[in-house]
Structure formats: C-alpha cells, structure tokens
Amino acid sequence: MSVTYEQIPGEVSISCVQGDEINIGVNCHQSLVGYTLSALVYAEVSSGGGDAIGSTVATISVGAISLAAGTVTLTLNETQTAALQAGARYRWYFRWQDTSGVTQTILAGPLVVRVP
C-alpha cells in the first residue's frame, strides 16, 4: 500500500489593479495567540525593473482581527501595489511560526498586477 503525505500551502491567486489597496480576510480556524505571522510578495522571475528571482518586493501587513479566533487581515497599501510592475510575475505567501518554533506556509499563490 502506498501512502502519500503532502504539506503544501493552500493556493490562492490574487489579482489587483496597480495603485489599489488590497485587503484579504483570512480565517485559520485555530488560535494564533503567541504565533509569529508574516507575509510577503516576491519576484517569481527576474523583471526588467531589476527584481532578482526570489527577491522580496513587498511586505504584506498582517493585522489581527481576533488572534484567539484565528482571524487576520492581509493588506498591501496603494503605495505598495503602485510600485509593483504590471505584467511582472510575482508570488506571495502567508506563513506562521507557532509557539514551539515550527514554521509553516499556510497560503501562497501568484499575484497579478494590472494597469487601471
């Protein structure tokens, strides 16, 4: 009998208009009290603007709605999305480090920026 174990993040694609704010509500369905939360956008391929593959191009703000309930908001502001190049290939992720120090990427996916 073959058993497969996968621990991969949920795939969430984000599309936005350059210069618009993005706010995404996330419910993790467990307490996040004491967890370290982080999220960022990185270049998937090298862009003409000088972003190297894998380089961080924006830090996504993680705001607590209710850590006890496991709900947070992920936000990129207008200035951050205005700095992203329309048509460039970006990816993003949201990860946590639990109270014992274990890091896990919870959500990830492509981020597509379009001109208005």
What does the pLDDT read at residue 6?
A: 79
Asked, for residue 2, whether it belongs to a domain, the answer is no
Whether 1 maps to a domain, the answer reads no
Domain of 36?
A: 10-114
Number of domains in the chain: 1
- Read off the pLDDT of residues 62-90 as tens digits, 9 standing for 90 and up: 999 999 999 999 999 999 999 999 988 89
**What is the per-residue pLDDT for 35?**
97
Q: Residue 27 — pLDDT band, cuts 50, 70, 90? A: very high
The strand pairing partners of 41, in sequence order, are 58, 92
Domain assignment present for residue 80? The answer is yes
Question: Rounded to two decimals, what is the model's pTM?
Answer: 0.87
In whole angstroms, give the CA distance from residue 92 to residue 31. 23
The Cα–Cα gap between 84 and 94 comes to: 18
CATH number of residue 60's parent domain? 2.60.40.10
Q: Which of 79, 84, 103 is nearest to 93 (CA)?
A: 103
- Gap between the Cα atoms of 40 and 12, Å rounded: 14
Dist CA 80 CA 76 (whole Å): 6
